[in-house]
Amino acid sequence: MSSAARELSYSLAINEALHQSMEGDGRVLLIGQGVKSPWYVGNTTKGLLERYGPRRVIDTPVSENAVTGAAVGAALTGMRPVVVHPRMDFMLYCFDPIINQAANWHYMSGGAAAVPVVFWGIVNRGGEQAAQHSQALHSMFCHVPGLKVVAPSCPVDAKGLMLAAIHDENPVVFMDERWLYNTTEPVPREPYRTPIGKGIVRRHGSDVTLVCYSGMVAPALQAASRAQERGISCLVLDLRTLKPLDADLLMKSVRRTGRAIVCDIGWKTGGWGAEIVATIVEAGVPLKSPPRRVALPDAPAGAARTLEAGYYPTADDLLDSIISVCRGEG
Local confidence pLDDT in tens for the 330 residues of the chain: 455 889 999 999 999 999 999 999 999 999 999 898 767 788 899 999 999 999 999 999 999 999 999 999 999 999 999 999 999 999 999 999 999 999 999 999 999 999 999 999 999 887 778 888 889 999 999 999 999 999 999 999 999 999 999 999 999 999 999 999 999 999 999 999 999 999 999 999 999 999 999 999 999 999 999 999 999 999 999 999 999 999 999 999 999 999 999 999 999 999 999 999 999 999 999 999 999 999 999 999 988 889 988 999 999 999 999 999 998 765
Distance CA 184, CA 14 (A): 12
* Residue 195 forms part of a structural domain: no
Q: Are residues 92 and 125 in the same domain?
A: yes
Which of 188, 219, 234 corresponds to the end of one domain? 188
Catalytic residue among 19, 85, 133, 138, which? Answer: 133
Q: Are residues 56 and 158 in the same domain?
A: yes
- For residue 95, give the H/E element and its range: helix 95-95
Catalytic residue among 16, 64, 177, 275, which? Answer: 64
Q: Are residues 172 and 226 in the same domain?
A: no
Q: Are residues 184 and 261 in the same domain?
A: no
Distance CA 190, CA 35 (A): 24
Q: Are residues 11 and 40 in the same domain?
A: yes
Distance CA 307, CA 167 (A): 41
* 155-185 per-residue burial string, b: 16 or more CB within 10 A, e: under 16: bbbbbbbbbbbbbbebbbbbbbbbbbbebee
Contact 299, 268 (CB under 8 A): no
Q: How far is CA 3 from the centre of its chain?
A: 29
- Per the structure, how many domains does the chain have? 2
Total-model pTM: 0.95
64 is catalytic: yes
23 is catalytic: no
Report the number of secondary-structure helices (H) and strands (E) in the chain.
12, 14
Q: Which domain holds residue 110?
A: 5-188
